[in-house]
Amino acid sequence: MDRLAAVRALSLAAIAGGVALLVLAAVRGEARLYLVLVFPVVTGEGATFALGTLLLMAGAFVAFLSWAPSMAGPEEGPSGAHAQASPPASPPAPPGPAAPPAGEGGARWGGVVFIGPVPIAFGSTPRTTALMLAAAVVMGLLVLVFALGALLR
């Protein structure tokens, strides 16, 4: 089993363990399940509930990151047997006002969508997506700091 498959299996095990601990917490009376519109909401207290929640979140985060290399495409580095031969180079375009500057492939774009506390980052290149994810983490931490500051007043 290669390393990426092992990470994916570990993330699934963490998700399954988190769900099992949340069910155990509900059986013990430490957790309650509500349905808000169509979204399940679990609230609780105690170490079993906390560990189950942390395992579930960590498993989801690792699963998300483990799929990122396979979404990058074949042009993102050596792919072994999946590498494709590059087409013959075309003659360079004459420079002009409409041509992008040398070394750049055109406009880059990206963004972040927050669904609750979960950031979803996207971009036109893997580097742009990574920058958007970093920006999302910073924004999430700022919101957390401001929320905790407002609660502690």
pLDDT tens digits, residue range 18-71? 999 999 998 998 888 888 877 778 888 888 999 999 999 998 888 888 876 655
Strands 31-36 and 39-44: antiparallel
pTM: 0.46
Task: Specify whether 52 is located in the same domain as 3.
Answer: yes
Q: What gap in Å lies between CA 27 and CA 57, rounded to an integer?
A: 21
In a domain, 76, yes or no: no
Task: Specify whether 6 is located in the same domain as 66.
Answer: yes
**Mean pLDDT of the chain, nearest integer:** 78
For the chain, the domain total comes to: 2
Residue scoring higher pLDDT (9 or 79): 9
Q: Which amino acid, 30?
A: E
- Its sign, for the CA torsion 36, 65, 112, 122, is negative
Task: Specify whether 116 is located in the same domain as 67.
Answer: no
Q: What are the residues facing 115 on neighbouring strands?
A: 118
Question: To 10 degrees, what angle do helices 47-71 and 3-28 make?
Answer: 150
Task: Specify whether 113 is located in the same domain as 47.
Answer: no
Task: Specify whether 119 is located in the same domain as 66.
Answer: no
In a domain, 85, yes or no: no
In a domain, 124, yes or no: yes
In a domain, 143, yes or no: yes
Kindly report the three-state secondary structure assignment for every residue of 10-62: HHHHHHHHHHHHHHHHHHHCCEEEEEECCEEEEEECCHHHHHHHHHHHHHHHH
Domain edge (last residue) among 46, 71, 96: 71
Task: Read off the pLDDT of each residue in 82-89 and give the average, rounded to a whole number.
Answer: 55
Task: Specify whether 67 is located in the same domain as 1.
Answer: yes
Per-residue confidence at 77, pLDDT binned at 50, 70, 90? very low
Domain of residue 113: give its range. Answer: 108-153
DSSP state for residue 96 in the 8-state scheme: -
In a domain, 97, yes or no: no
